């Protein structure tokens, strides 16, 4: 069976932390936020940490074993 190709879009959006979790920016934090409330905008500033089954799948997409 051939090797799985790494996905550039995943490599661009996620980075692996020291503990093996995946860290990324939250979606909907670009433009058109003036009409959103401040709690929503503040929540979007925190990083999104992915762990478990999704992290395993995304790590494989990044080219890691």
C-alpha 51/C-alpha 24 separation (Å) is 12
Q: What one-character-per-residue DSSP string does 18-65 give?
A: TTS-EEEPPSS-SS--TTS-HHHHHHTTSPEEE-THHHHHHHHHHT--
Range of the domain at 8: 1-27+45-65
Contacts (Cβ under 8 Å, ≥6 apart) of 46: 26
Q: Is residue 64 assigned to a domain?
A: yes
Q: Is residue 38 assigned to a domain?
A: no
Q: Is residue 14 assigned to a domain?
A: yes
The predicted pLDDT at position 40 comes to 95
Q: Is residue 22 assigned to a domain?
A: yes
Q: Is residue 9 assigned to a domain?
A: yes
Q: Is residue 13 assigned to a domain?
A: yes
Q: Is residue 37 assigned to a domain?
A: no
Q: Is residue 1 assigned to a domain?
A: yes
4-45 pLDDT, tens digit each = 899 999 999 999 999 889 999 999 988 999 999 999 999 999
Residue with tokens 């992915």, as numbered in its chain = 50
Q: What's the structural domain count of the chain?
A: 1
């Amino acid at each position: 069976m051939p090797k799985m190709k790494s996905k550039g879009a995943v490599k661009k959006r996620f980075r692996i932390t020291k503990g093996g979790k995946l860290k990324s920016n939250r979606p909907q934090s670009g433009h058109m936020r003036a009409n959103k409330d401040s709690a929503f905008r503040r929540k979007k500033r925190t990083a999104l940490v992915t762990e478990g089954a999704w992290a395993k799948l995304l790590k494989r997409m990044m080219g890691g074993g």
